[in-house]
Amino acid sequence: MLRNFEEVKLGENELKLIENGWGSEVANSIIIKKFLYNSDENSVKGYLAYPKKITEKLPIIIWNRGGNNKSGLLDDFLASGILGEIASWGYTVFASQYREKDWFGGDDVNDVLNLIEIAKEFEFSDEKVIGMEGWSRGGMMTYLALRRTTEIKSCIIVAGLSDLIRNEKLFKELGIVYKRHFGTDDESEYEKRKIERSAVFWTDKISARTNILFIHGTADNKVSYNDSLDVYNKLSVLNHNTKYELRLIDGGDHYLRKERKDVSLLRRKWFDNNLKSKNI
């Protein structure tokens, strides 16, 4: 159930920044709304983006944010740019901020799965055509969602975290994040919790009905590009009639800042080829 459904209204200066950063269509032709929804016993914040002019039901895309706690949270401006860009390609886009008590890949995965059910309720959403995109921690959330649902036809995982153990060794600050959100004094249980969140250890459990595009910069200093490479390689040898594609961006950082336009074109082409009815 949705509550506090409210349209986002940006100021003139913010709209100019959106236009400069994402284009005039994103700034002027997309509606952004924020809302609260129920997930388990939690009240969770979310965003919705869709074109002002809709003539037919549009495919759904669930967008999973990165970060933890307040880091990586969307605000009205970022939602208008990031989600608005995808909506401008001809999609209805839903994003969860995840529950306030951040489990970093624990019960908060329900916030993603429950949002899928909410997205189906909108009259302009095509509930039969659902995609997903996750960046960084959002990639981990996407893997975890794909372990529990086969409804996602296609997804994109950008700089996705899939091996928590490796990245803790490479990037010490991640260990602090793990301890904060799902740490325990029981070392064997702690290792188990890391593995439960690490798709590289259970690729055979990922939905075999979902086409996946992996994108990762080789100079990523937050999540090793081997996380995408390893999951891609493991999935590719399974007997799935499924499409997997890996794009390693030479020299690209975690956010792929310098390659942003090229990456946007790559993402749009993937979603259009896999989710638009004429191409399915």
- Predicted local confidence at residue 280, as pLDDT: 57
Contact 85, 37 (CB under 8 A): no
Phi-psi region of 22 (alpha: psi -120 to 50; beta: other; left: phi over 0): alpha
For the residues 46-75, what does the mean pLDDT come to? 96
For the residues 249-277, what does the mean pLDDT come to? 95
Number of structural domains, the chain? 1
- Predicted local confidence at residue 279, as pLDDT: 54
In the predicted model, is pLDDT for residue 170 greater than 60?
yes
Phi-psi region of 135 (alpha: psi -120 to 50; beta: other; left: phi over 0): beta
pLDDT per residue over 95-153, tens digit each? Answer: 999 999 999 999 999 999 999 999 999 999 999 999 999 999 999 999 999 999 999 99
Structural domain harbouring 101: 2-279
For the residues 27-45, what does the mean pLDDT come to? 96
Report the mean per-residue pLDDT for the chain: 95
pTM here? Answer: 0.96
- Predicted local confidence at residue 3, as pLDDT: 77
The whole-angstrom separation of Cα 178 and Cα 190 is 9
- Predicted local confidence at residue 278, as pLDDT: 63
In the predicted model, is pLDDT for residue 240 greater than 80?
no
- Predicted local confidence at residue 277, as pLDDT: 59
The whole-angstrom separation of Cα 85 and Cα 96 is 17
Q: Which amino acid is at 169?
A: K
The whole-angstrom separation of Cα 18 and Cα 41 is 35
Share of the chain above pLDDT 70, in %: 98
Q: Three-state SS across the chain?
A: CEEEEEECCCCHHHHHHHHHHHCHHHHHCEEEEEEEEEECCEEEEEEEEEECCCCCCEEEEEEECCCCCCCCCCCHHHHHHHHHHHHHCCCEEEEECCCCCCCCCCCCHHHHHHHHHHHHCCCCEEEEEEEEEEECHHHHHHHHHHCCCCCEEEEEEECCCCCHHHHHHHCHHHHHHHHHHHCCCCHHHHHHHHHHCCHHHCHHHCCCCCEEEEEEECCCCCCCCHHHHHHHHHHHCCCCCCCEEEEEECCCCCCCCCCHHHHHHHHHHHHHHHHCHHHC
pLDDT per residue over 180-223, tens digit each? Answer: 999 999 999 999 999 999 999 999 999 999 999 999 999 999 99
Contact 124, 92 (CB under 8 A): yes
- Predicted local confidence at residue 78, as pLDDT: 97
Domain holding 56: CATH number?
3.40.50.1820
In the predicted model, is pLDDT for residue 239 greater than 90?
no
